[in-house]
């Protein structure tokens, strides 16, 4: 019965492996610097290691946002997030698994009358901006370092490419480890409070209940890598063919560093001991970090005409993805509870109802109005941007 409830999380893990593995090895496989078989084996092994060894941090933050205390609720939350990612991807809309699971958890909070931890939510939303920004900063610095090293070592081009190929394998292994450590919270984090797994010994090591869930989620991600990521990797490789092997190495390493930072409890503890604010341990969208990294390399090369439409689509995903996932979760929870009679969770931390404080209904009402205004403004901006582009093309044609 437990495995049946876990299927939605395993499906979410499979889709994550099928799509996000391309961010790690897509450019290397597409340009044939690395074979797909080797890339798939390395990614599968290291994503499982990252999930089991370092997956607790980001999962704990999601738990503070909403501790889903029933298996039926966890199943529905993961299912709603997976369906949101699937349908928005099919519609060609920007989507992130991280933002989908956050919206789904908030939808569960509203349905079960649990208070949303605003501190945890603020930490998570802040990283939606700082993740791509850090990716751009790391890529800018690493690309500069690679270029300086290339000029100073004066090595033959063939040998240099061989070193880069080895570097891509190492960066890919690190990227897969970081992906497992950071994004396993999206896959199995909602099941941790409700699935009763006891600590189990496996000879040389002992896995906690959470680590056993992370291991299963890691296997699902690895299955996605092995069964469906080849086509996605080849597609990404073709789309990023203009990236040199140097740039591909920098993008993968930048993404791995960002995901590792936002999932490392040891690094966050080191910051605290040094008297600095702790690093928020939250799941980060690997795709958006890759976009930030590519922009960082573009800025280094002096490219001033950044695709604002692409940045606008990412920013719109910060709103549309969690809202869509939250609404879908709310409705699915209603049907699962009332139609099938399955326990989806209960209130353990109800919102405080102080005198003079706005009601939840009033907050939702104004949030919808603000959302509509933002979407309308974004659509107007797109129309004006397309009009300016058409005018430029017409002037070039007639001049």
SS3 assignment for the chain? CHHHHHHHHHHHHHHHHHHHHHHHHHHHHHCCCCCHHHHHHHHHHHHHHHHHHHCHHHHHHHHHHCCCCCHHHHHHHHHHHHHHHHHHHHCCCCCCHHHHHHHHHHHHHHHCCCCCCHHHHHHHHHHHHHHHHHHHHHHHHHHHHHHHHHHHHCCCHHHHHHHHHHHHHHHHHHHHHHHHHHHHHHHHHHHCCCCCCCCEEECCEEECHHHHHHHHHHHHHHHHHHHHHHHHHHHHHHHCCCCCHHHHHHHHHHHHHHHHHCCCHHHHHHHHHCCCCCCCCCCCCHHHHHHHHHHHHHHHCCCCCCCHHHHHHHHHHHHHHHHHHHHHHHHHHHHHHHHHCCCCCCCCCCCCCCCCCCCHHHHHHHHHHHHHHHHHHHHHHHHHHHHHHHHHHHHHHHC
How confident is the model at residue 365, as a pLDDT?
A: 45
How confident is the model at residue 175, as a pLDDT?
A: 92
Q: What is the pTM of this model?
A: 0.82
Average pLDDT of the chain? 81
Give the pLDDT confidence of 197-231 residue by residue, as tens digits: 888 777 777 888 889 999 999 999 999 888 887 77
Taking 80 as the threshold, does the pLDDT of residue 383 lie above it?
Answer: no
Residue 105: name the closest of 283, 290, 370 by CA: 283
Taking 60 as the threshold, does the pLDDT of residue 20 lie above it?
Answer: yes
pLDDT band for position 377 (cuts 50, 70, 90): low
Taking 90 as the threshold, does the pLDDT of residue 64 lie above it?
Answer: no
Residue labelled with tokens 């940045």: 311
Q: What are phi and psi for residue 355, nearest 5 degrees? A: -70, 130
How confident is the model at residue 386, as a pLDDT?
A: 62
How confident is the model at residue 330, as a pLDDT?
A: 92
Q: What is the mean pLDDT of residues 280-306?
A: 80
* CA angle, residues 261, 264, 267, in degrees to nearest 5: 80
How confident is the model at residue 240, as a pLDDT?
A: 47
Q: Please report, in angstroms and rounded to a whole number, the separation of the first and last CA atoms in the chain.
A: 71
Say which range, 166-175, 193-202, 322-331, has the weakest mean pLDDT. 193-202
How confident is the model at residue 170, as a pLDDT?
A: 92
Where is pLDDT greater, at 101 or 317? 101
Whether the CB-CB separation of 215 and 51 falls below 8 Å is answered with yes
Where is pLDDT greater, at 32 or 273? 273
| Cα separation, 47 vs 235, whole angstroms | 21
How confident is the model at residue 354, as a pLDDT?
A: 52
Taking 90 as the threshold, does the pLDDT of residue 254 lie above it?
Answer: yes
């Amino acid at each position: 019965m437990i495995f049946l409830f876990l299927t939605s999380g395993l499906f979410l893990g499979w889709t994550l492996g099928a799509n996000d593995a391309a961010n790690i090895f897509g450019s290397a496989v597409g340009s044939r610097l690395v074979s797909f078989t080797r890339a798939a084996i390395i990614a599968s092994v290291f994503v499982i290691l990252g999930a089991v060894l370092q997956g607790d941090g980001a999962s704990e933050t999601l738990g503070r946002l909403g501790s889903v205390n029933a298996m039926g609720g966890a199943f529905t939350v993961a299912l709603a997030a997976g369906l949101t990612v699937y349908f928005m991807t099919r519609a060609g809309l920007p989507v992130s698994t991280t933002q989908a699971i956050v919206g789904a958890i908030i939808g569960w909070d509203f349905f079960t009358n649990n208070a949303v931890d605003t501190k945890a939510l603020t930490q998570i939303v802040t990283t939606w901006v700082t993740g791509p920004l850090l990716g751009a900063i790391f890529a800018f610095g690493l690309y500069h370092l690679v270029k300086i090293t290339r000029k100073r070592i004066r090595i033959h081009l063939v040998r240099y490419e061989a070193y880069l190929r080895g570097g891509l394998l190492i960066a890919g292994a690190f990227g897969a480890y970081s992906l497992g450590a950071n994004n396993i919270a999206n896959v199995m984090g909602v099941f941790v409070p409700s699935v009763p797994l006891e600590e189990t010994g496996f000879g040389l090591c002992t896995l906690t209940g959470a680590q056993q869930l992370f291991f299963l989620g890691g296997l699902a991600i690895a299955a996605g890598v092995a069964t469906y990521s080849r086509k996605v990797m080849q597609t990404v490789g073709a789309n990023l063919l203009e990236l040199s092997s140097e740039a591909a190495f920098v993008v993968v390493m930048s993404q791995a560093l960002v995901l590792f930072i936002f999932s490392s409890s040891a690094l966050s503890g080191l910051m605290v001991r040094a008297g600095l604010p702790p690093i928020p341990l939250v799941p980060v969208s690997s795709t958006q970090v890759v976009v930030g990294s590519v922009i960082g390399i573009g800025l280094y090369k002096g490219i001033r005409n950044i695709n604002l439409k692409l940045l606008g689509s990412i920013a719109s995903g910060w709103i549309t993805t969690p809202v869509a996932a939250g609404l879908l979760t709310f409705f699915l929870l209603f049907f699962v509870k009332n139609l099938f009679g399955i326990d989806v969770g209960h209130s353990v931390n109800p919102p405080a109802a102080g005198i003079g404080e706005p009601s939840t209904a009033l907050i939702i009402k104004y949030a919808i109005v603000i959302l509509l205004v933002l979407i309308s403004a974004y659509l107007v901006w797109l129309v004006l941007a397309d009009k300016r582009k058409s005018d430029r093309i017409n002037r070039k044609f007639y001049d």
